[in-house]
């Protein structure tokens, strides 16, 4: 955004006897240490250097003047720089002031040829989802703005009516580090049985019904630009999933020895996209990690691991982190909400589970 600031230049002649040509401008060079800062060039005297350069929002309300913008002034090579703490916004006008120099008003110019951000993928990708669905992941093509994103998404039923408060609106939002992936939770107080919110409002999704999740393109990315498109996701609700994932029920398709064919694991259901991508690790008989690449396919129902080197005619072991969850937040150790009265399987507390196969 800042690279497209027009280089605004103002020549100021201080007096007839003082022909220092002072230039006020915004630094636009990509590799400049002070990119995006206001620069006052050709400082004439030491006394000038003691004065600060101040920048204000413009226009000011004379009845309610606002203080100068927070930033840092530095002097380098006969130039005085003012770098704002927050980059100047393309939607606002600013005024730089320096003693004995006419005010300098500027407005950053929006970037040309800006590639708008898109919502690349939404997980789970499958349309049929359990009534007690807990999470969704929204993957964006570029970093998004840090603020209240919930206002840009809503859930509608078949009649086009908005569902009230289906999501837990957390502050801060559950972004990844650079805000390209958002984790969206259905309100766990409504999903969990017997909690008041569940009793009073019911689960956000009801079995047998269909919904559409709408995501508005008005949602801004980190540079303040709206998304390229609106996004919708159809949801058909099926029976609640109250069975913990069990690796003993997974199907393994072992590869052939002396090949680099993939080993394929069929989970038999879609698992949590983020956790499934990261919870399985393959070891050889000596307990050494097998080098290779893994990926999820088939709506996160299948894990495919392709080794870098040929398989040997030996046993192998897949270690599965017990934190791996299905779409309803049930993990390998426990269900999302455990009915203590009807508990049939003992609660476990294992860090890992294992799945063995042999390559022939």
Partner 1 sequence: MKKINTLILAFVALLATNLIANDGTSPLTANFIMGNPEVQSMNAISFGPEGILFVGDSKSAMVTAIDTKDKVAAEAPKEIKMAKVDEQIAALLGTTAAEITIQDMAVNPISKMIYFAVHHSNGTPVLLKTDGETIQHVPLTEVSHSKMEINNPIDAEKKDRRGNSMRVSAISDLNYFEGKVMVSGLSNEEFASTFRSIPFPFKSEQMQASLEIYHAAHGKYETHAPIKAFLPVNIAGKANLVAAYTCTPLVVFPMESLRPGEHTTGQTVAELGNWNVPLDIIQMEKEGKSYLLMANSSRAVMKISVDQVANFHDSLTEKVAERSGTAGVDFINLPFVNVQQLDKLSDSHFIMLQRRSNGDLDLYTQNNRWL
Q: How far is the CB of 191 from partner 1 (least distance, A)?
A: 8
Q: Name which of 69 and 257 has its Cβ closer to partner 1.
A: 69
Cβ proximity to partner 1, 308 vs 340, nearer residue: 340
Provide the minimum distance between the beta carbon of 100 and partner 1 in the complex, in angstroms, as a whole number: 23
Using the CB atoms, write b or e for 131-159: b if 16+ within 10 Å: bbbbbbbbebbbbbeeeebbebbbbeeee
Strands (E), 38-91: 38-40, 54-58, 71-76, 79-84
Angle value at C-alpha 237, between 186 and 176, nearest 5 degrees:
35
By C-beta, is 20 or 137 nearer to partner 1?
Answer: 137
Is the CB of 43 or the CB of 119 nearer to partner 1?
119
The minimum distance between CB 58 and partner 1, in angstroms, equals 10
Measured CA to CA, the distance from residue 36 to residue 31 in angstroms comes to 11
Q: Which is nearer to partner 1, 43 or 290 (CB)?
A: 290
Using DSSP, state whether 321 is helix, strand or coil: strand
> Rounded to the nearest whole angstrom, what is the least distance from the CB of residue 145 to partner 1 in the complex?
4
Question: Shortest distance, CB of residue 98 to partner 1, whole angstroms?
Answer: 17
Alpha-carbon distance of 243 to 352, in angstroms, equals 18
Residue closer to partner 1, measured from CB, 50 or 200: 200
Nearest distance from C-beta of residue 257 to partner 1, angstroms: 28
Q: How far is Cα 183 from Cα 140, in angstroms, rounded to an integer? A: 12
CA angle 316, 319, 324 (to 5 degrees): 145
């Amino acid at each position: 955004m800042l690279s497209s600031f027009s280089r605004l230049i103002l020549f100021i002649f201080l007096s007839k006897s003082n022909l220092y040509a002072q230039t006020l401008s915004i630094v636009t060079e990509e590799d400049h240490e002070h990119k995006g800062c206001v620069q006052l060039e050709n400082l004439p005297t030491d006394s000038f250097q003691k004065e600060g350069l101040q920048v204000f929002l413009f226009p000011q309300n004379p009845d309610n003047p606002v203080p100068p913008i927070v930033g840092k002034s530095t002097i380098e090579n006969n130039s005085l720089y003012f770098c704002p703490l927050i980059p100047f916004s393309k939607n606002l006008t600013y005024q730089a002031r320096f003693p004995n120099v006419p005010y300098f008003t500027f407005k950053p110019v929006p970037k040309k040829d800006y590639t708008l951000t898109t919502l690349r993928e939404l997980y789970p990708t499958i349309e049929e989802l359990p009534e007690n669905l807990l999470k969704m992941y929204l993957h964006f093509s570029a970093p998004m703005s840090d603020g209240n994103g919930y206002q840009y998404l809503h859930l509608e039923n078949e009649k086009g009516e908005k569902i009230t408060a289906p999501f837990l609106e957390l502050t801060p939002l559950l972004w990844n580090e650079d805000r390209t992936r958002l984790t969206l939770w259905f309100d766990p107080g409504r999903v969990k049985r017997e909690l008041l919110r569940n009793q009073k409002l019911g689960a956000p999704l009801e079995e047998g019904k269909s919904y559409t999740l709408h995501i508005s393109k008005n949602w801004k990315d980190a540079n303040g630009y709206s998304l390229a498109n609106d996004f919708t996701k159809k949801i058909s609700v099926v029976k609640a999933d109250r069975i913990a994932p069990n690796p003993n029920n997974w199907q393994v398709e072992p590869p052939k020895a002396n090949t680099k064919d993939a080993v394929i694991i069929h989970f038999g259901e879609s698992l949590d996209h983020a956790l499934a991508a990261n919870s399985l690790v393959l070891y050889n008989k000596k307990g050494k990690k097998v080098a290779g690449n893994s990926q999820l396919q088939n709506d996160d129902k299948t894990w495919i691991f392709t080794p870098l080197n040929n398989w040997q005619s030996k046993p192998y072991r897949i270690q599965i982190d017990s934190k791996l969850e299905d779409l309803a937040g049930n993990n390998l150790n426990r269900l999302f909400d455990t009915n203590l009265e009807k508990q049939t399987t003992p609660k476990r507390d294992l860090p890992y589970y294992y799945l063995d196969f042999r390559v022939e």
